[in-house]
Amino acid sequence: MLSYLMNGESDYVKVALANEIPPRSMKHVDIGGKEIVVVNIDGQFYAIDERCGHMNAPLSMGQIRVNTEKKIISCPLHHATFDIITGQKLSEPIMSGMDMSSLPKNVQDYFKKAGEILSYVKTNNMQTYQVINDNNEIKVKIPA
């Protein structure tokens, strides 16, 4: 259940309890029709747009990777990667590499043509949102 709190010019929306999002996991939330994924990186919570800027795939079904320099979320569909903190696109989608030799020729041709068309779809940076942990209530700041 979502609850809204007014704070100056922005709304903070309660999206979950902290224990509902274990470390190194994600939760999809819908705030008034805006889809966001809340990510828990070892007790620090982040929020980023849910839908990949390339083909609209749900990032909450992707993977989280953490290294010494970045916290990364990857798209489950074409593996584009984004910085969880800034929303910056880190890598383009991977549009090839699938072995289709066992598929019928017409299906291979279809996927080849679809890949050519999709290679022109731009992948953009993602919007991120401020998150607070208020007495184990995770709240996301929605810009006014």
Report the SS3 class of residue 113. helix
Predicted local confidence at residue 112, as pLDDT:
80
Using the 8-state DSSP alphabet, how is residue 58 labeled? Answer: B
Predicted local confidence at residue 36, as pLDDT:
96
Of the candidates 70, 49, 54, which has an alpha carbon nearest to the alpha carbon of residue 143? 49
The tens digit of pLDDT for each residue in 8-18 reads 445 889 999 99
CB 65 within 8 Å of CB 79: no
Q: Which residue has the higher pLDDT, 113 or 63?
A: 63
* Domain ranges within the chain, ordered by starting residue: 3-92+124-142
pLDDT beyond 70 at 53: yes
Spatial neighbors of 70 by CB under 8 A, at least 6 apart, are 83, 84, 85, 90
Q: 12: alpha, beta or left, given left = phi > 0 and alpha = psi -120 to 50?
A: beta
Predicted local confidence at residue 108, as pLDDT:
84
The tens digit of pLDDT for each residue in 22-46 reads 999 999 999 888 999 999 999 999 9
CB 94 within 8 Å of CB 62: no
Q: What integer is the mean pLDDT of 103-119?
A: 81
DSSP element (H, E) containing 116: helix 105-118
Predicted local confidence at residue 98, as pLDDT:
66
The tens digit of pLDDT for each residue in 67-88 reads 888 999 999 988 899 999 999 9
Q: What integer is the mean pLDDT of 54-60?
A: 88
Classify domain 3-92+124-142 by CATH number. Answer: 2.102.10.10
- Rounded CA separation 103/111 (Å): 10
